[in-house]
Amino acid sequence: MRIGILTSGGDCPGLNAVIRGIVLKGTEINDQEFVGFRGGWRGVVTSDLLELGRANVRGIAKEGGTILGTSRTNPFEGEGGPERIQANMQREGIDAIIAIGGEGTLAAAKRLTDAGLKIVGVPKTIDNDLDATDYTFGFDTAVQIATDAMDRLRTTGDSHSRCMVAEVMGRHVGWIALHSGMAAGAHAILIPEQKTTMEEVRGWVESANARGRSPLVVVAEGFTPGETDDPHSERGLDAFGRPRLGGIGERLAPMIEEMTGIETRATTLGHIQRGGVPSAYDRVLATRLGMAASDSVQDGAWGQMVALRGTEIVNVGFEEALGKLKTVPQARYDEAAQLFG
């Protein structure tokens, strides 16, 4: 069986480990051969291919990014669509596709599967917001990167007696903010799931300052203060019509300074969280998911993605993965909030 692999959407640490896991298990155990689509769904629509054998994936598990490249191309726009993709697959002798990506990628994969294409999915999102899997690779690395950055912000904040605001990724959910904020000892963690007012933020900042600490506020990019309705966005829309978020930290810093009289600075970590080598945990998880994806193709588990449940890798339908986002439960936030201020 000849299988095409793609990585689509935002890159994250661990993508290369997935590719390696798929190719090694597929070629050595399942008698499969592979090609990669360059640039995500764009490569599927344009038949931009790269042969993938064991030699092509040697040593890539420790590398960040993706050797296949990625994009946020919508496969249904322009010259795309299931008929075009099916014709390309037949011409290239490709029997099935393994799509590695997040919510947008898997939603497109579901539509194509419903149209008759043979597709298996691998979940990828550093936000850890897909409901059907306990963890996604890249999340652990992103949290560690954010925590390291906050540790550095704490030292400069202490030196100047400033309040430091650290903006991290998290469009709809606050998992990165929650985990990194708790790890770094943040005095306030602001996430999209919680409608927190600026008066509450003021109280936490002033409480920390009164104890002689330099306050650290962690905010997810999708956070909306209780006084507003929409997340901060200055960057237009992506290919799937979603706002490109960012800048809430820079918006909050002058508000905090005005309310408290404490000099405040903001830092947006942005794409730093996506870059660099994956953690050991992410390398292992990504490799296991890749190997399981090869088995799923062998079993004909079309319209399904591999997922982590507890410590086991299982298969779940695309519809289950896309049914709802995995948000931070109220109890988890309340637990962290006991340490604020």
Options 11, 127, 140, 282, the catalytic residue = 127
Query: Residue 265: left (phi > 0), alpha (psi -120 to 50), or beta?
Result: beta
Nearest to 139 by CA among 106, 172, 181, 169: 169
Active site residue 238: no
DSSP string, 262-296: --EEEEE-GGGGG-SPPPHHHHHHHHHHHHHHHHH
**181 vs 232: CA distance, rounded Å:** 20
Q: CA–CA distance from 224 to each of 54, 172, 219 (Å)?
A: 47, 10, 10
| Helix (H) or strand (E) run with residue 255 in it | helix 248-260
| Helix (H) or strand (E) run with residue 334 in it | helix 330-337
Q: Distance of alpha carbon 208 from its chain centroid, rounded? A: 31
- Catalytic residues, by residue number, are 127
